[in-house]
Amino acid sequence: MRPEMRDYTLRYFDTAAGTLVLDFVLHGDGPASSWAASVAIGDKLVIGGPRGSLVVPAAFDWYLLAGDETALPALGRRIEELPAGAKIVAVIEVDSLAEEQHFETQADLVLHYVHRNGQPAGTTSLILDTLREIEFPPGDAYAYIAGESAMSKAVRTHLTEERGFNPEWVKAAGYWLLGTADAHEAH
């Protein structure tokens, strides 16, 4: 029987020390979340991949990063890896202040955290509503959006149809789909 498999982002790895860091959202349902919630030292996790990795070119005038907490590792890596002088506008949805993460970066970062304050993940339009209010910097932008699939799709549509983004420079990933197990999509 095929084992249960889910996608996670490598947040950090250290080949010399033989360690890697994964950051799991504990959403209370599903084999991956349940495993992470109850894992004990000595338990085994089989890791396959990487299947591929998206390298973001550093030549854009600015970068838009948006997502929910499943994308914190991916957005965190992009924020920390973009070089000095790169301009980033980021909108990240988490439940509350306690769930915010701090990023170390050389880049010029404007970070907006939005809070669900107890509303279930995947049921609000906080990211889209916040983006609608933001005046974007001038120039060519690259956008990376990841999180609940309907959110990601709606943000992509907003950027390409209402904000003049080049569709080729908008990467929108559905990392999970509200109400469906083991779902992910690219928009």
Ligand X SMILES: Cc1cc2nc3c(=O)[nH]c(=O)nc-3n(C[C@H](O)[C@H](O)[C@H](O)COP(=O)(O)OP(=O)(O)OC[C@H]3O[C@@H](n4cnc5c(N)ncnc54)[C@H](O)[C@@H]3O)c2cc1C
- Which residues are near ligand X by CB under 6 A? 6-9, 23-25, 27, 29-33, 70, 73, 121-122, 175-182, 184
Smallest gap from Cβ 99 to ligand X, in A, equals 12
Exposure on the CB side of residue 152, measured as CA atoms within 13 A = 26
- Taking CA atoms, 10 is separated from 75, 116, 168, in Å, by 11, 25, 25
Beta carbon of residue 45, minimum distance to ligand X (angstroms, whole number):
13
Residue 69 Cβ vs ligand X, minimum distance, rounded to whole Å: 7
| Nearer to ligand X (CB atom), residue 163 or residue 171 | 171
Calpha distance 31→18 (Å, rounded): 25
Q: Rounded to the nearest whole angstrom, what is the least distance from the CB of residue 68 to ligand X in the complex?
A: 7
* C-beta nearest to ligand X: residue: 30
Q: Using the minimum distance from each CB to ligand X, give the nearer residue, 33 or 101.
A: 33
Cβ-count burial of 152 within 10 angstroms (0-12 exposed, 13-18 middle, 19+ buried)? buried
Closer to ligand X at the Cβ: 110 or 181? 181
Q: 85: part of which helix (H) or strand (E)?
A: none
